[in-house]
Amino acid sequence: MAGRDMIVEVDLGRRCYPIRIGPNAADGVLETARYLARENRRSAFIVDKGFAATQAEFLQSLQAVGQVLLLPAGEKTKSLSRLSEIYDFLTGHNFDRSCCLFAVGGGVIGDISGFAAASYMRGIDYYQVPTTLLSMVDSSVGGKTGINLPAGKNLVGAFLQPKAVFSSTRFLETLPRRVFNCGIAEIIKHGLLGDAHLFERLENLDNLHAGHV
Ligand SMILES: NC(=O)c1ccc[n+]([C@@H]2O[C@H](COP(=O)([O-])OP(=O)(O)OC[C@H]3O[C@@H](n4cnc5c(N)ncnc54)[C@H](O)[C@@H]3O)[C@@H](O)[C@H]2O)c1
């Protein structure tokens, strides 16, 4: 696909990490898993079922480079029982401390997989592969992970920075309009709260005014 990816470095000293953004960012996921395999490190992919249904080819590529666990779409997935399912999946495949976990989906999968990575064997490396606009601009960056409890949202969690983030703009092509607009709303909010230049750029986007997004 045309266009080049860009790399944004998140500067956090020892915990700094790159965000690769663009049409070919998904290639980076496969390249990373192959690189890890050469280092004798195995890859586990936690993948949103709704996303997988629209990206069958990418799903097959993931299955060729690691073990895949599909989880149902939706907020209910951020639960203790699904977290336990991830642990069972990891132990069932004999994943040890050297393995790496990839969160492939929106904020739901990113949050629960990040928390699984933060807690499995007291912490393993993980990568974010956000597939919704909201998860690309917000939840995949910053290291906040967690799940919900019956008493409320995000009540259990941990901070863990990913080793890298791969934001493939190609994934946005299959995103339902409503889900895409949640991400746009987050970008507008960010502009309103503290980035006048961003807000001005958004105001000058014809599509936003015409209601095309
Ligand atoms: N950790 C953080 O800093 C942070 C910040 C903001 C929000 N969040 C969390 O993020 C979650 C919401 O995330 P979200 O808005 O990404 O929603 P989501 O993860 O629930 O995904 C929304 C829907 O989009 C579908 N989908 C995902 N990618 C797709 C694709 N490329 N093509 C087609 N369908 C696709 C999914 O199957 C799902 O039905 C909430 O749980 C919220 O608490 C976390």
Model pLDDT for residues 33-85, shown as the tens digit of each residue: 999 999 999 999 999 999 999 999 999 999 999 999 999 999 999 999 999 99
Tell me the one-letter amino acid at 4: R
Helices (H), 120-195: 133-134, 177-194
Indicate if ligand 1 lies below 6 Å from the C-beta of 54. Answer: yes
Chain centroid offset of residue 83 CA: 16
| 196 Cα: distance to centroid of ligand 1 (angstroms) | 26
Ordered by start, the domain boundaries in the chain are 6-173, 176-213
| Cβ atoms of 107 and 134 closer than 8 Å | yes
Confidence of residue 213 (pLDDT cuts 50, 70, 90): low
Tell me the CA distances in angstroms from 98 to 43, 47, 93, 111, 112, one per residue in order. 9, 20, 13, 21, 20
Confidence of residue 206 (pLDDT cuts 50, 70, 90): confident
| 201 Cα: distance to centroid of ligand 1 (angstroms) | 25
Mean pLDDT of the chain: 95
Token pair recorded at residue 67: 């073990």
| 158 Cα: distance to centroid of ligand 1 (angstroms) | 18
| CATH code at 6-173 | 3.40.50.1970
Query: In angstroms, rounded to a whole number, what is the distance separating the alpha carbons of residues 2 and 10?
Result: 26
Q: pLDDT tens-digit profile of 131-186?
A: 999 999 999 999 999 999 999 999 999 999 999 999 999 999 999 999 999 999 99
Question: What whole-number percentage of the chain has pLDDT above 90?
Answer: 91
